Amino acid sequence: MVGCGGLSEIVDIMKRTGAEDLGDFYPIRPDCQADTPKPRFKPRAGKTLSERRWNAAFSEDGHLDIEKVLRRIQRGGVHPAIKGSVWEFVLGCFDPNSTYEERNQLRQRRREQYIRWKAECQHMVPVIGSGKLITTPIITDVGQPVIDSAINSSFSDKRSIQWMLALHQIGLDVVRTDRALAFYESEKNQAKLWDILAVYAWVDNDISYVQGMNDICSPMVILLENEADAFWCFERAMRRLRENFRCSASSMGVQTQLSTLSQVIKTVDPKLHQHLEDLDGGEYLFAFRMLMVLFRREFSFVDSLYLWELMWAMEYNPNIFSLYEKPIAESDKSAASMLNNKLLKQCGKFERNKVKTGCKDQQSALAVFLVASVLEAKNKRILKEAKGLDDVVQILSDITGNMDARKVCKEALKIHKKYLSKAKK
């Protein structure tokens, strides 16, 4: 069955048949088709980054004209046949100024590093890498193995115990991830997603695993056949998002972005902000999910991928590769430093505006302004119909499957420009 194979298998079929139906790239299970929103994204000749244009953007030795690629992505997204390869660049996995040989060497080193990390995890929990996954607890809070669990020995160090306590929750989330896609009818593909999330939770023990990471990682698993490559693509995406997932007993990291959202709406639309405050919604918690999983619930699978690549292209900064090569703790800093005019042209639209205006606020991510654009689009309904927060949630739920990703991004850029202009005064 095509749906359970890798994307490369599907691409080969598409090339042979000349088909362009996006449903053939990301097949939907027959029993889910009636309830799955139809994608609005369609590859457009002359707009969408095609495989031909992508290959032509490389020099003979492998240097990538990232400026040309970003322009094309921001106009019409990326063709499904090359999404995985393109994402590795816009997420900062590779330096556009590197050669084919340099990238092959780096890819090999990363694959070997992933294998070492995965082996550490397998040593503690042999189910990892077996093609299976865990959905029930395997260890107690004090490190004792649960009867009939996947481990045979007890553990005393806090890091190992906390990691193993998270594994069954990862499994429970994995089996609920993108269930409409035929790809995840295969337990082997589910296990691949579980393995990556488990290894990530072990490596980034400061953040570990938080629900929602499964939604961010799933597309990488589908787009990149090699598990290690998918892991590194996810790891780079998490460099942007990990602070949103930081948990404490009393707060979630995403609340910082929600606070920024509140400030943005207060600045660009005081009337709407005041109405939300009157409804006891001034903390904007109704937008929590949009920011945590980058609109995965508000868009179809295909359209959410389109939205992400538009966002990442617009936020692209040529310094991100060198910044992300540093340890995670050191990479939560701005990539905007030391950009000359040549490098400024290699920035996405959103990032370029931030650099030009001297904005260094790391919480002013494009996602915040995307939420703001959604609220502005529903401004009249919220002001007229919302008598409580439940009404706000209901109004916003109506957008599911009904938004154009490119239009939302375009409006977000306008709001960002308006916000920067008013904030200066």
**Predicted local confidence at residue 424, as pLDDT:** 72
Sign for the pseudo-dihedral over CA of 260, 264, 270, 275: negative
Euclidean distance between CA atoms 67 and 148, whole angstroms: 55
Question: Which run of H or E residues covers position 362?
Answer: none
Q: What is the largest CA-CA distance in the chain?
A: 65
**Predicted local confidence at residue 16, as pLDDT:** 38
**Predicted local confidence at residue 13, as pLDDT:** 40
**Cα angle 356, 357, 361; round to 5:** 115
Whether the CB-CB separation of 288 and 251 falls below 8 Å is answered with: no
Q: Is 191 exposed, middle or buried (0-12, 13-18, 19+ CB in 10 A)?
A: buried
**Predicted local confidence at residue 75, as pLDDT:** 95
Closest CA to 143 of 156, 134, 162, 152: 156
- In the block, tokens 């029930």 appear at 136
**Cα angle 37, 12, 185; round to 5:** 45
Closest CA to 192 of 160, 214, 165, 166: 214
Question: Which pair of structure tokens corresponds to residue 361?
Answer: 């606020």
Whether the CB-CB separation of 64 and 57 falls below 8 Å is answered with: yes
Whether the CB-CB separation of 260 and 363 falls below 8 Å is answered with: yes
The count of other CB atoms within 10 Å of the CB of residue 130 is 12
**Predicted local confidence at residue 228, as pLDDT:** 98
The count of other CB atoms within 10 Å of the CB of residue 181 is 20
Whether the CB-CB separation of 43 and 306 falls below 8 Å is answered with: no
- Give the CB-side neighbour count of residue 330, counting CA atoms within 13 A: 6
Q: Which residues of the chain fall below pLDDT 70?
A: 1-21, 23, 249, 328-339, 360-363, 425
**Nearby residues of 138 by Cβ (< 8 Å), 6 or more positions away:** 125, 145, 146, 149, 150, 151, 164, 167, 168
**Predicted local confidence at residue 361, as pLDDT:** 64
Q: Residues 387-391: contacts with CB within 8 Å, 24+ apart? A: 387/279, 388/279, 389/279, 389/280, 389/281, 389/286, 391/279
Euclidean distance between CA atoms 80 and 69, whole angstroms: 15
